[in-house]
């Protein structure tokens, strides 16, 4: 049976361990979006999925005639289509500042975790990516403050990006020393783990491993 034919509802094709897929599931839960979730093997995607997703990446959002296969674009699309609660600031200056932080997190954190999670990565590549990720997070500890959420008083797109990465550190044996400088980060992780949308975003495999 075709995965894509006769689709009247929004569907998210995702993997059950990747940080980018969890990011989108957090947003879906936070906004209360009605969306079908279907797990695929990212290393063995069906031909019909590859036809609309030439990069072969997950997650993939299909909303009738629209197909989006970049997690950042998916999150922005969902935030615009379902504007409440908003996950990006309303004002242009604040929105631009958020996007600058997102760009930094993408380059310094997310892309290294992509290498760690990829089955195509060699051991030296994974080791290098782990070292870079550990260093980059350690260099970013000052970004965590006493606000309830990351750089904000309310849940935002930054939280949906950051928390899946931080929750995977222990699993991938990436250690950030626990000290005065890192305490705000660890406090943040503890708060986010109790957030309903984060709890709801975990797959069975993530619950087992993370």
Mean pLDDT of 176-192: 95
Residue 210 confidence class, pLDDT cut points 50, 70, 90: confident
Question: Where do the domains of the chain lie?
Answer: 92-195
- Is the pLDDT assigned to residue 160 strictly greater than 70? yes
User: Omega into 85 within 30° of 0, i.e. cis?
Assistant: yes
Which pLDDT does position 55 carry in this prediction? 85
Residue 166 has pLDDT above 90, yes or no: yes
Position 64 pLDDT exceeds 50:
yes
Q: Give me the pLDDT at residue 8, please.
A: 65
Non-local (6+) Cβ contacts of 77 within 8 A are: 61, 63, 66, 68
Output the CA–CA distances (angstroms, integers) from residue 45 to 2, 91, 174, in the order listed.
Answer: 13, 40, 29
Question: Residue 188: pLDDT above 90?
Answer: yes
Q: How far is CA 156 from the centre of its chain?
A: 12
Q: What is the pTM of this model?
A: 0.94
- 109: pLDDT confidence band, cut at 50, 70 and 90? very high
pLDDT at 1 over 60: no
Average pLDDT over every residue of 181-198? 95
Average pLDDT over residues 17-25: 97
Instruction: Measure the CA–CA gap between 24 and 35, rounded to whole angstroms.
Output: 11
> What pLDDT, on the 0 to 100 scale, is given for residue 158?
96
pLDDT of residue 56: 86
**Could you tell me which CATH number the domain at 92-195 has?**
1.20.1050.10
Lowest mean pLDDT among 5-14, 24-33, 99-108: 5-14
């Amino acid at each position: 049976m075709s995965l894509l034919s006769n689709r009247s509802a929004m569907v998210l094709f995702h993997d059950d361990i990747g940080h980018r897929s969890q990011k989108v599931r957090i947003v879906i839960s936070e906004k209360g979006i009605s969306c079908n979730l279907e797990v695929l093997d990212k290393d063995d995607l069906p031909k019909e999925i590859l036809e609309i997703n030439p990069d072969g990446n997950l997650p993939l959002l299909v909303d009738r005639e629209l197909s989006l296969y970049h997690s950042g674009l998916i999150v922005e699309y969902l935030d615009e289509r379902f504007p409440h609660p908003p996950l990006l600031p309303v004002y242009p200056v604040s929105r631009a500042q958020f996007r600058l932080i997102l760009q930094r997190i993408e380059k310094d954190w997310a892309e290294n975790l992509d290498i760690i999670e990829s089955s195509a990565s060699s051991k030296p590549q994974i080791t290098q990516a782990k070292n870079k990720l550990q260093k980059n997070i350690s260099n970013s500890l000052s970004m965590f403050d006493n606000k309830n959420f990351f750089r904000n008083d309310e849940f935002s797109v930054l939280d949906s990006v950051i928390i899946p990465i931080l929750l995977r550190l222990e699993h991938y044996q990436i250690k950030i020393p626990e000290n005065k400088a890192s305490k705000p980060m660890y406090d943040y992780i503890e708060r986010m783990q109790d957030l309903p949308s984060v709890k709801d975003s975990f797959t069975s495999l993530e619950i087992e491993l993370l």
